[in-house]
Structure 1
Amino acid sequence: MCTVSYLPGQSGFILTSSRDEKITRPIARLSGPVIIHDREVTFPQDPLGQGTWIASSNTRTVCLLNGAFKNHQPRPPYKYSRGLVVLHAFDYFTIQSFAHHYDFSGLEPFTLLLVEVGELLVLHWDGSQLLITEKDASRKHIWSSVTLYQPDIIAKREKWFSDWIISTNNLSLDNIRKFHLTAGDGDPENAVRMRRDNLYATVSLTSVVRSGTHMEMTYEDLIHAEPATRSLLQHHVSN
């Protein structure tokens, strides 16, 4: 359950994910590089499902939001955690191949963002059908999880994002992280850094910065104040 922003750059992008979760969920920590299908992949690992909501190699970034088009009623048992799908995406040579050949059946609804330089793919799985949408990777985007936010709130958050873009002269990592931590209108339940009683809150903030052949992931646990950063350098550019 997340809010995700995407900012294009001249030689890459910045993708930032606010993770909205139950406060009581076990702490996720940033992994060292894990080899998946000959790729070094970095991600914060969820101790419950052993998966993640965001992962990145030097050439690919994958990010998960719960829900597809509208809030749904969970109907377990499911085949496995949606967080594992994020890691499975690195088993495929291209994101298009993953989108067209992966078996999504038996999984709870979700939205998946797949980013490679010059390509941005959005997959919506509603539990029975898959919708694949190609987004303009040269434009700025924001998404909010439909399991936590009603359509009018999602539209309001998109307005905050567009207003922030107009008002800032520097679309930097520090500034987009500040947006994720401060944007809102005084309603803590629907602010980008949200909190709903003592049940749900924005528990972490993760950014992936891709610049040329370099990828850096910055992860901050907002509940326990545990920041971490990992960098990967691509020696052989394949895209």
Structure 2
Amino acid sequence: MCTVSYLPGQSGFILTSSRDEKITRPIARLSDPVMIHDREVTFPQDPLGQGTWIASSCTRTVCLLNGAFKAHRPKPPYKHSRGLVVLDAFDYFSPQNFAENYNFNGLEPFTLLLFEIGELLVLRWDGHKLFISEKDASQKHIWSSATLYSPDIIRKRREWFNHWISSTDELSLGSIRKFHLTAGDGDPENAIRMRRDNLYETVSLTSVVRSGTEMEMIYEDLIYSETTYKTLSQSYVSN
């Protein structure tokens, strides 16, 4: 699932995630902030796995995409939902500490994006080995799930993103959310807002806006056209 874009800013960033899921999956809801290892964290909670695909505190944001480098054949049973890994990442002192000490064995392949004050870490778990890479947090990025999109389609989507960057007048929250809702070439199966075989579609759009010591999460349920906002300020995060 998921297409994720990242736009850096002077004092933060805008991270936006399109959730591509089975239309039969239960609807997620944006949670009230919860305490995880002395951090207030907010996230849309998946009723099925009790985890999430995107969560944020004032200092750390974690985002999940299914699959690592290529599509894989599921081999259940797995230890637990990949969505719980997103929340587990807040139990660690730093993203690097999480990558070095978390037990990934028994989990289905995934890609995890971890953002923390000038740092962007990408973890890819292929079911056997963890691959860690650092990305330039001052540059713009886009990722697409390897389970739903072939390498050729992923490249094409990156081209749409780069064209949008070069042709838009303002890289704002409104403009990137519009990109997530409208970008494509007429093929609904691979558009950024996708629909495939009456089975999968983009069911929600979530943005994390980080500015200084504040974080706002905007969660839009595209099925029921409902939008929810949550704001966290470092001033009331327990240390």
TM-score (norm 2): 0.98
| Secondary structure, aligned partner of 1:163 | helix
1:216 aligns with 2:207: no
Q: Give matches, 1:1-239, under 5 Å.
A: 1-235=1-235
Q: Deviations over 1:47-90 (max 9, x none)?
A: 00000000000000000000000000000000000000000000
| Secondary structure, aligned partner of 1:158 | helix
Cα distance in 1, alignment partners of residues 167 and 42 from structure 2: 33
Contact 1:213–1:237 (CA<8 Å) still a contact in 2? no
Cα distance in 2, alignment partners of residues 78 and 100 from structure 1: 21
Cα distance in 1, alignment partners of residues 98 and 236 from structure 2: 22
Q: Deviations over 1:69-122 (max 9, x none)?
A: 000000000000000000000000111100111000000000000001100000
Shift of 1:13: 0.4
Unaligned 5+ segments in structure 2 are none
| Secondary structure, aligned partner of 1:235 | helix
Instruction: Specify the code of the residue in structure 2 equivalent to 1:136.
Output: D
Q: Deviations over 1:159-206 (max 9, x none)?
A: 000000001121100000000000000000000000013100000000
RMSD: 1.1
Shift of 1:237: 9.3
Contact 2:38–2:237 (CA<8 Å) still a contact in 1? no
Cα distance in 1, alignment partners of residues 169 and 95 from structure 2: 32
Unaligned 5+ segments in structure 1 are none
Shift of 1:226: 1.5
Shift of 1:46: 0.2
Aligned residues: 238
**Sequence identity (%):** 79
Contact 2:69–2:146 (CA<8 Å) still a contact in 1? yes
Cα distance in 1, alignment partners of residues 177 and 99 from structure 2: 29
Cα distance in 1, alignment partners of residues 152 and 106 from structure 2: 30
Q: Deviations over 1:191-227 (max 9, x none)?
A: 0000013100000000000000110000001011121
Aligned CA distance change for structure 1 residues 81 and 162 (closer, same or farther; 3 Å): same
Contact 2:40–2:237 (CA<8 Å) still a contact in 1? no
Instruction: Tell me which stretches of 4 or more aligned residues in structure 1 moved more than 2 Å.
Output: none
Cα distance in 2, alignment partners of residues 43 and 236 from structure 1: 17
Cα distance in 2, alignment partners of residues 65 and 71 from structure 1: 12
TM-score (norm 1): 0.98
